[in-house]
Structure 1
Amino acid sequence: MDSDVVDLLAQLVAIDSVNPALVPGAAGESGIAAFVASWATGVGLTAKVVEEVPGRPSVIVGSGGTGGGRTLLLCGHLDTVGVGGMAAPLTPLIEGDRLYGRGAYDMKAGLAAALIACQEAHRAGLAGEVLVAAVADEEHSSVGVQDVLRHVRADAAIVTEPTELTVAVAHKGFVWVEIEVTGRAAHGSRPHLGVDAITGTGPILMALEQLGVRLQEVEHRLLGPGTLHASLIAGGREESTVPDRCVLTFERRTLPGETVADVERDVTELLARCVAGVPGLRATSRVTLAREPFETGADQPIVAEVSAAVQDVLGRPAEVAGVSYWADSAFIAAAGIPTVLFGPDGDGAHAEVEWVSVAGTVACARVLTATAARFCR
C-alpha cells in the first residue's frame, strides 16, 4: 500500500487541473476526473461521474460493501490554484521526504490516500462501504461537493485536506461584504459643490478596524477569535474630479454559531453611524459570497474512530484541533453527515514552492484504511 499511494499521488500531480474559475482557459477537472474514474474501475472499484455543471466533473468512487455496515465518505478536491511562477509545477519531484508539485499538498496527497483506503476496503470485503468524493471547484465555489451531496448518503465523512495528521473538528466560515459609498461629483476647483466618496470611506475603514479589535474579545476554544480585514478598494474618476463613488470589500471570518445575518447587522449599524450627519453621503452593503463555519462535537463516533486509528497506526494519542482555512467539510456537515478533517503534513498551499511529506501521505492512507475497517465493519 505504501508505494501505491506515492505512485498514485505522483500521477495525480502530473495532471493539470488548475481551476478555470481562477485562471480563465485553465484545464479544469475533466482530465483528472477521467483518470480517477479509470483508475478506480481498473482496481475493481465503482466510479460514477457527476457533472451537473458542464465541464466541471466530480467522481464518486465506491468500494462496494458486502452489506450491513456503515458508509464512510472520504472527500478530496481535484482542482488546484494556478501555477504562478513555479518552475515545473506538473513534474512530481521527490527529494528526501518531500514530494514537490502543484497540488501535492493541497490536496492531491489527501485524495490519493482516500482512494487507496477505498481500494483497501474493497480488498478487505468490509460490510459497509467506503465512498470517495473526488470533487471539482473547491478552490472557488465548491460546485463539486454540492453536486455530489445530491447523489450520496453516508453515516460519517472525512475530508482529507492537509491537517498535519491532526483530527480537525472545526474551522471558521467567511463572509465577503462589498460596501458602496456614494457622494456627488464636482470639479476639483469647486470641492464645496461635491461630496467626496473616498474621504467619506475613511471613517468606515476606521470603524471596521475597531470592529476587528472588538472581535478579539471572544475566542473559540479551537479557532481563536473571529477576524476582519479590508480586501479591495477602488474609486474616483480622475485627478481633478471630486469622487462620487468608492467601493470597499472586506472579509469577515466567522466562528461556529455566528451567522451571515450577524455580520449584515453589524455592517448596517456601522454604516449608519459613519454617514450620519454627512449630507449627500450614502453607504450601502451587500454580501457577495458567504460560507458557513463548521464544528463537529467530540461525542460523534467518527471523532473517536479516527482518533483510535491514529493511536493504532501512529502509536500516539490523536491531537484534536481546528484548522485555519475553510473547506468543503462545512457543506458535508450541513447535509447532516458528521464530519472531521484528516490529512497529511507539508507546506506551500497556493505558493510557488509546494510540497507534501511522503511519510505523512503514507501515514494518512494507513489511518484512513484503519478508520474504515473500524467504522464500516
Structure 2
Amino acid sequence: MPDLVELLARLVAIDSVNPGLVPGAAGESEIADFCGSWLADRGFEVTRLEKNAGRPSIVGVARGTGGGRSLMLNGHLGTVSVAGYDGDPLDPQIRDGKMFGRGTFDMKGGIAAMMFAAARATAAGPLRGDVLVACVADEEHDSLGTEEVLESFTAGAAIVTEPSNLEVTLAHKGFAWFDVDIEGRAAHGSRADLGIDATVKAGHFLVALEELGRRLAEGPAHPLLGTGTVHAGVIQGGDGPSTYPSSCRVTVERRTVPGETIEVVEGELAGVLEAVAAAVPDFRYRLVRGLNRGPFQADPEAVIVRTLSRHAEKALGQAPTVRAELFWTDAALLDQAGIPALLFGVSGEGAHAATEWVDLASLQQVADILTGTIAEFCS
C-alpha cells in the first residue's frame, strides 16, 4: 500500500486543472508526462495522443500473448478549479486514514488504483489479452480525450474508475443543451407602440418549460435513474432599462435517461415552443441544438460486470451494491463505441467542493479488485 499511496500523492501534487473550465489553467500536459513515464518504466507501450494542443491523453498497453480478451481501464487526468479550496489543494495530506487534496476523490484516486492494478496484474505473469490504461484529458468539459482514444484504440471491455464508493455503477444520465433564441423588436422604453419585449416573451416559454418538467417527473421512470429532467441554465437579454430588448436567449439543459434520444428531446422542446407561439402574440423563436451526450446503461450480465462483481464480493465480504449515477461520464462514449463498460471506484467525498478526500482503505480495495478482475478477464 505505501507504493499505491505514494503514487496517488504524486498525482495530486501535479496541477491539472481543466482549462476548458478555467481559462489559462495548467491542463493535463505535466500529469500526462508523469503517467506516461510511470507506465513506460513498468513495461507498457505508451502512446501520447494530442490532437488538441496542450490537451494530451496517454494510453499504456501491456501486450498479451494472444487469444485473450482485452480490457481498457479509463480515467480522466483533469480536475476542476482549485480556487476556493480550503488549504493547499496540491499538498496531499493524510489524516485519519484519508488523503486530502484536489482530485483525491474525483478522480486521481481512480487513476492511481487503475495504474497500480494494471502494473501489478501484468507483472504477475503473462496474460493472453492486452491491458490498456487510458489516462484521458477533458472529461470534466467536452470529453475530447476519450473521443481521441477511441479513434485509435478499442477493447473487449472497459472499466471507468470514477469514484463510486465501492459500488458497481451500471447506468447514468445523459444531457443535451439547447439555445432558445426569442425575437423581439428594439425600441425606446417610451415607445410601447413600437417595441416587442423579447425578455417578457421568454417568460411565457419559461412557464411552459416548468410545466414540461412536471410532466417528465410524473412520466415513466427508469428503474435506477428515475425520470429525465429539464431546466433553464442561463438567460441572456436586454441592453438597458430604457430599451425594449430585441432578443433573449434561454439556454436549456435536458438530462436524459436510456431511451431518450437527442431527436426525442429536441422534438419535445419544439412542441413546447410551437404551443407557446400559437398562444402568445408576436412570439417568434429559433431552437438551436448544442452539445449533447447520450445516457449510459450496461448489461448486468456482461462478462466484465460479472467478473468485477465477483472480485468485489470477495474483497468486500458481501455482494457489491448495484447503482446508477446522475452525472455523465465517459462510460457512455465507450459503450457507444461497442465496448461493454461499467464504473467502479473509490470512496470519499468532496468532488468539486472546498474540501476533497479519499478513503485510503477503499483505494487499496479498488486496486485489489481491479487486479483480480484484470487477471481473470484477460486470461
Q: TM-score, normalised by structure 2?
A: 0.97
Report the equivalent of 2:26. Answer: 27
Report the equivalent of 2:121. Answer: 121
1:229 Cα deviation after fit: 1.5
Distance across 2 between alignment mates of 1:107 and 1:283: 41
1:61 Cα deviation after fit: 1.2
Distance across 1 between alignment mates of 2:131 and 2:168: 19
- In structure 2, runs of 5+ residues without a counterpart are none
1:364 partner amino acid: V
1:338 Cα deviation after fit: 0.4
Match of 1:363 among 342, 362, 365: 365
Distance across 2 between alignment mates of 1:52 and 1:280: 46
2:339 partner amino acid: I
1:84 aligns with 2:83: yes
1:213 aligns with 2:206: no
The range that moved more, 275-284 or 167-176, is 275-284
Distance across 2 between alignment mates of 1:301 and 1:122: 20
1:96 partner amino acid: D
Report the equivalent of 2:191. Answer: 190
Report the equivalent of 1:372. Answer: 374
What's the secondary structure of 1:80's corresponding residue? coil
The range that moved more, 275-284 or 58-67, is 275-284
Distance across 2 between alignment mates of 1:350 and 1:254: 22
1:279 Cα deviation after fit: 3.8
1:280 Cα deviation after fit: 3.1
Distance across 1 between alignment mates of 2:299 and 2:256: 18
Report the equivalent of 1:199. Answer: 200
What's the secondary structure of 2:16's corresponding residue? coil
**C-alpha offsets along residues 96-145 of structure 1, whole Å, 9 cap, x if unaligned?**
12211111111000011000111012212222222110001111111110
Query: Would the aligned equivalents of 1:169 and 1:295 in 2 still touch at CA under 8 Å?
Result: yes
What's the secondary structure of 1:220's corresponding residue? coil
1:303 Cα deviation after fit: 1.0
- In structure 1, runs of 5+ residues without a counterpart are none
Report the equivalent of 2:278. Answer: 276
Match of 2:291 among 289, 292, 295: 289
2:265 partner amino acid: V
Report the equivalent of 1:169. Answer: 170
Report the equivalent of 2:94. Answer: 94
RMSD after superposition: 1.2
Report the equivalent of 1:346. Answer: 348
Report the equivalent of 1:136. Answer: 137
Distance across 1 between alignment mates of 2:133 and 2:334: 13
Distance across 2 between alignment mates of 1:282 and 1:341: 44
Match of 1:305 among 302, 307, 311: 307
Taking structure 1 as reference, are residues 176 and 47 closer, same or farther at Cα in structure 2, changes over 3 Å only? same
Distance across 2 between alignment mates of 1:46 and 1:359: 30
1:276 Cα deviation after fit: 2.0
1:149 aligns with 2:150: yes
1:277 Cα deviation after fit: 4.6
Distance across 2 between alignment mates of 1:334 and 1:4: 35
Distance across 2 between alignment mates of 1:24 and 1:242: 34
Distance across 1 between alignment mates of 2:64 and 2:205: 57
Report the equivalent of 2:237. Answer: 235
Distance across 2 between alignment mates of 1:34 and 1:64: 21
**C-alpha offsets along residues 340-363 of structure 1, whole Å, 9 cap, x if unaligned?**
000001111111111111111111
1:153 Cα deviation after fit: 2.0
1:146 partner amino acid: E
Query: Would the aligned equivalents of 2:216 and 2:228 in 1 still touch at CA under 8 Å?
Result: yes
Could you list the structure 1 runs, at least 4 aligned residues long, displaced by more than 4 angstroms after superposition: none
Identity %: 49
Report the equivalent of 2:104. Answer: 104
Query: Would the aligned equivalents of 1:195 and 1:281 in 2 still touch at CA under 8 Å?
Result: no
Query: Would the aligned equivalents of 1:63 and 1:121 in 2 still touch at CA under 8 Å?
Result: no
Q: TM-score, normalised by structure 1?
A: 0.97
What's the secondary structure of 1:363's corresponding residue? helix
**C-alpha offsets along residues 207-241 of structure 1, whole Å, 9 cap, x if unaligned?**
11111111112211011111111111111111111
Distance across 1 between alignment mates of 2:169 and 2:84: 31
What's the secondary structure of 1:146's corresponding residue? helix
What's the secondary structure of 2:285's corresponding residue? strand
Report the equivalent of 2:73. Answer: 74
Query: Would the aligned equivalents of 1:184 and 1:280 in 2 still touch at CA under 8 Å?
Result: no
1:63 Cα deviation after fit: 2.5
Distance across 2 between alignment mates of 1:333 and 1:142: 14
1:33 partner amino acid: A
Distance across 1 between alignment mates of 2:97 and 2:287: 48
Query: Would the aligned equivalents of 2:176 and 2:293 in 1 still touch at CA under 8 Å?
Result: yes
Distance across 1 between alignment mates of 2:323 and 2:369: 17
Distance across 1 between alignment mates of 2:79 and 2:296: 22
Query: Would the aligned equivalents of 1:271 and 1:284 in 2 still touch at CA under 8 Å?
Result: no
Distance across 1 between alignment mates of 2:187 and 2:279: 20
What's the secondary structure of 1:330's corresponding residue? helix
1:246 Cα deviation after fit: 0.9
1:67 Cα deviation after fit: 2.5
The range that moved more, 43-52 or 261-270, is 43-52
